[in-house]
A and B are shown apart, each in its own frame.
Chain A
Amino acid sequence: KAGVTQTPRYLIKTRGQQVTLSCSPISGHRSVSWYQQTPGQGLQFLFEYFSETQRNKGNFPGRFSGRQFSNSRSEMNVSTLELGDSALYLCASSIERGDPYEQYFGPGTRLTVT
């Protein structure tokens, strides 16, 4: 079974631009979560989607948004990029069965803002 895939793997953008990152969960998984990883702040939760609805949201500004499609694929968007948005963005999917719900992570998208 294919794992979680994220595209693109690497991205370079300029301050003020916007960016869209994509995540395809493991087949059958309906929950998708996004995390930001930086050297200073570590891993921080952005948001979680389940069945096309945002179920949970972390403490990030409104410039960060996301959505989930009917096939469970998810995208996150960052508008008006700032230098501090440079990070590894990780997506994780979960099947919502078992205790606890195990999350499977993709390889991440490395975003560099110049």
Chain B
Amino acid sequence: GNSVTQMEGPVTLSEEAFLTINCTYTATGYPSLFWYVQYPGEGLQLLLKATKADDKGSNKGFEATYRKETTSFHLEKGSVQVSDSAVYFCALTSGYSTLTFGKGTMLLVSP
């Protein structure tokens, strides 16, 4: 079956630091990959996505590249802000809409 593994948090950074959150996956076929973000007290928001190998998803300064050879989809941002503090979820789908999520990684950014 499908599974997603994320690095455990919390990840604690100072403002303007470089961010990497690791994500690896196991899936049948050719999954699509996503990063979702959850701010306190809110639902999930789609941050970025990639649908095939070597695709790079990007949004709001965040990037992730679909690496089929390493089954990875690591999230990166060059300079984090306090407002980026949230929980980040890596997810995949192999068809239709059903998403398989990682456990989530909490990011805490201090001024």
A residues contacting B by CB (< 8 A) are 4, 31, 33, 35, 42-43, 45, 48, 55-56, 90, 92, 94, 96, 99-108
Contacts and interface: CB of A to CB of B under 8 A. Distances in A.
Nearest to B52: A99
B9 to A, nearest CB: 12
B93 interface: yes
What are the nearest 6 A-B pairs in CB distance? A105-B43, A100-B32, A43-B101, A105-B44, A42-B103, A107-B43
Interface residues of B, number: 21
A15 B42 CA distance: 26
Residue among A92, A103, A108 with the most chain B CB within 10 A? A103
A43 B101 CA distance: 6
Given A101-B93, A104-B46, 7 more contacts: A35-B99, A35-B101, A90-B43, A90-B44, A100-B97, A105-B44, A106-B43
A100 B51 contact: yes
Name the prevailing secondary structure of the A interface residues.
strand
A9 to B, nearest CB: 9
A106 B42 CA distance: 8
B32 A94 contact: no
Contacts of A99: 32, 51
Contact of A103 (B41, B99, B100, B102): B99
B26 interface: no
